[in-house]
Amino acid sequence: MTEVPTCALDDEGLARQHERYVRLAPAVVAMRRDGPQLTVQFAPDYDERTLAELIAVERQCCPFFGFWFDEDARRLAVGVTAAEHAPALDSIAELLRRRPAHSPR
């Protein structure tokens, strides 16, 4: 069984990071998983600050991820450094499918 790599965040930091993903979820208009890469398309009204914070935290705590954001296209690509880390992309996709309790979507 492939083990998902672990994050360096403590429980509190992990909870805050998960909240960032869930805050961004309503702005996700499309998501595609292609092997070792997840591509996420955001609506024009996505929360730029939350996305910037999310990427900055991930880059520090989870070095097995690579993040590339095309601001003009509002498209985020998340890749992994090794194929055995690809299951971690499923965790990101799951969080981006969640909706905050107050969201009508």
Q: Is domain 11-97 classified as CATH 3.30.2310.20?
A: no
Inter-residue contact 15 to 2 (CB < 8 Å): no
Look at residue 2 in the predicted model and tell me its pLDDT. Answer: 40
Query: What is the per-residue pLDDT across 59-82, written as a single tens digit (0 to 9) for each?
Result: 988 888 999 999 999 999 999 988
Inter-residue contact 100 to 23 (CB < 8 Å): yes
Cα separation of 18 and 29, whole Å?
19
Look at residue 101 in the predicted model and tell me its pLDDT. Answer: 64
What percent of the chain is predicted at pLDDT more than 70? Answer: 89
